[in-house]
Amino acid sequence: MSALQSLAAEGLSGSVGSIGYGLAAIGPGVGVGIIFGNGTQAMARQPEAAGLIRANQILGFVLCEALALIGLVMPFVYGP
């Protein structure tokens, strides 16, 4: 029985990083949605400030995506 358990653990260890990254990608995805949703509302309320709002949207988007890319690279850096 222990040989079966060790075989199952070996087969599972390869996909745990992928599952972890998939779950970790939810955060930046929600963040990007909030950024663009609220930015669109802000531009609709104050069209004269659209340039400043758009610049802040792009900055927030870049920071969220940088976190997602760091999360993608780290399993390769610290992996087995």
Q: What is the pLDDT of residues 5-57, one digit of tens each?
A: 555 555 555 567 677 777 778 888 898 999 999 999 999 999 999 999 999 99
75 vs 40, more confident? 40
Report the pLDDT value the prediction gives residue 14, as an integer from 0 to 100.
57
What string of H, E and C letters represents the secondary structure of the chain?
Answer: CHHHHHHHHHHHHHHHHHHHHHHHCHHHHHHHHHHHHHHHHHHHHCHHHHHHHHHHHHHHHHHHHHHHHHHHHHHHHHCC
Report the pLDDT value the prediction gives residue 53, as an integer from 0 to 100.
95
